[in-house]
A and B are shown apart, each in its own frame.
Chain A
Amino acid sequence: MTFLNVAEIESALVALNNAYPSLTQLLPLPNETAEHRHSNALLIRGNPRFECRPALVFVSGVHAREWGGPDILVNLATDLLEAYTTNAGLAYGGKSFSAATINLIVNRTDLVVFPDINPDGRAYSMAALPNTAQAMWRKNRNPASAGGLASKIGVDVNRNYDFLWDFPVKFSPNANMGTLASTNPASDLFHGTGPFSEPESRNVQWLVDQFPNARYFVDVHSYTGDILYPWGDDENQTTDPSMSFKNAAWDGQRGVAGDAYKEYVPSVRLSQLQSAANVMRDGINAVRGQGYVSKQGFWLWDATYPTSGTSEDWAFTREFLDPKKGGLNGFVIEFNKKIDFFPTWAEMVDLIADIDAGLIALADWAHPSIWRVILCWIGRWRPIDRFWAIWHRVFPPELWGPYGPWTRIVRLAERTANRFAALIRGGRGRGR
């Protein structure tokens, strides 16, 4: 087997939907790319009647040259569906999941895979010819800001999300501008003409919006062997909610370690982020001991790596912008410990095993336990609704309602009694 090309990724999703129609739903993304391509996502939902499930949204392929991401997610969906439908467990190297675990994951979560965010870029990279260097392409292929110059084509979709997108305003001039993003279309970090200016990032936004129950968002990249969690703009702090991306008073002060500004994350949420990242890390490392590390995205040895407009930070903003939507934990997995965007397929098979084990471990951790299911049902158990449900079961409206047979009998009896009473009253009147 070999790496999936762009057409095959979409065909694979359609095929999985065809093969498992009762377990999957194909989700066509609404925004067409610059080169007129359309993408699909696939929802795996084993038990539509189970209302207490969280959604996990896994995406990949945003950076064109990071070839293996889509292969990882297509395989993940395939393995889960094959195992579930045959009541089998699943094993990757030293990490295994029982059949019962696979059942719980499929029945108690919405698992969404969007393997190829940037099909134009992938097609360009994979079409590399001997006389070109285009395989190292990172961005999408949007020519809108290029002014006709090939060197200026494309936007880094992972700098285009609506999280501190306007970095010259939002960040300190002392922040590392070489990593934040760029306003120069020739840069590999060009952030586009506005937040969500690109169809690829809008497709991710649309997909996440379809799942108000989304609780985990993982963007699969390569390489370095890291699992990264928010925030990416500055150091984390857990004490001052006013020191936040939402607060314009801090504009111009973000992105520098050791200064006054640090990004707020509630301590309980930070703990949850770290726990989930560690679950993925441990799941990956259990396969063949690759030594993946989980850490906050901002840090880099003695340096910093501040970023704006990235997917995992944008995902994590949701609960701060609209608390009613609930927490959405955002992550990046950088697969491959080796310095290589282009592993051989034989190496890629092992990398697929690593990352799929980590993602299934996360899904196993995320699906609600029986106690959480009970709590969820209690939360949804509105007493007055329950009362009427029981009432209508004991006294069915078709029997007891105004047009039901019992009501007609009662009404007939009432009318008969009334006539009889009137007759008696009339007889008495005449007697007087």
Chain B
Amino acid sequence: MSDEKAPPNDNEPTERADDQFAVLVTVARGQADELLRRGEFDFGDHPNISPNPDGTARLTLFVSRPQVNALRDEGYEVELGANMSARARERVTEVGQGDRFEGGRIAPRGLGRKIGGRGGGTPSDDRGPDDGGKRAS
């Protein structure tokens, strides 16, 4: 999900039965450890836990709809977020096609803003794909 509190997005692409959703599970002390110990949930890379003012926290998991239902059946409050699997399929359109650097003939161009210097910044002005008009701000 692009925002931690983002509701399910109606515009997400078509859902599959094994799709994984980013969900926020509200946990009391000890429950995060218990959920992670099960070894049955995808918790991302280093797990993400956001403490709440009331002493609970929200643990992020990537789970299927049946897993969401099972957690709710156990009494966990689960906030359903984006369908990450669907989002990834959508993002595939933003993966480069072919080889824009032609096996090493065309060098990439950096996104950082160059300050001063002799100008140019690259050995060749026409060697790299542009960045859609966006430079690192």
Q: Which of A's residues lie within 8 Å of B, judged by CB?
A: 1-5, 7-8, 11-20, 63, 65-67, 74-75, 78-83, 85-93, 96, 98-99, 125-133, 135-136, 176-179, 182, 187-189, 221-224, 226, 228, 288, 297, 300-305, 332, 334, 338-347, 349-350, 352-353, 356
Contacts and interface: CB of A to CB of B under 8 A. Distances in A.
A96 B117 CA distance: 14
B89 A89 contact: no
29 contacts: A8-B96, A8-B99, A15-B101, A19-B127, A67-B91, A78-B109, A86-B114, A86-B118, A87-B118, A88-B116, A90-B113, A92-B137, A99-B116, A125-B88, A130-B13, A132-B89, A133-B19, A135-B92, A136-B20, A136-B62, A224-B48, A302-B33, A303-B32, A305-B46, A305-B47, A339-B1, A339-B81, A343-B2, A349-B134
B64 to A, nearest CB: 9
- 8 closest A-B pairs (Cβ-Cβ)? A88-B117, A14-B104, A135-B88, A79-B110, A89-B115, A353-B136, A11-B101, A303-B33
Given A82-B121, A223-B48, A300 B136 contact: no
A344 to B, nearest CB: 7
Contacts of A82: 109-110, 114, 121-122
- Give chain B's interface secondary structure class: loop
B107 A130 contact: no
A338 B37 contact: no
Contacts of B98: 7
Give the interface size class of chain B.
Answer: 35 or more
Nearest to B118: A86
Contacts of A352: 111, 136
Given A82-B114, A130-B14, A223 B45 contact: yes
Nearest to A83: B114
B88 A128 contact: yes
Contact of A182 (B39, B103, B115, B137): B39
B71 interface: no
Contact of B88 (A13, A136, A334, A346): A136
B4 to A, nearest CB: 6
A87 B111 CA distance: 17
B1 A340 contact: yes
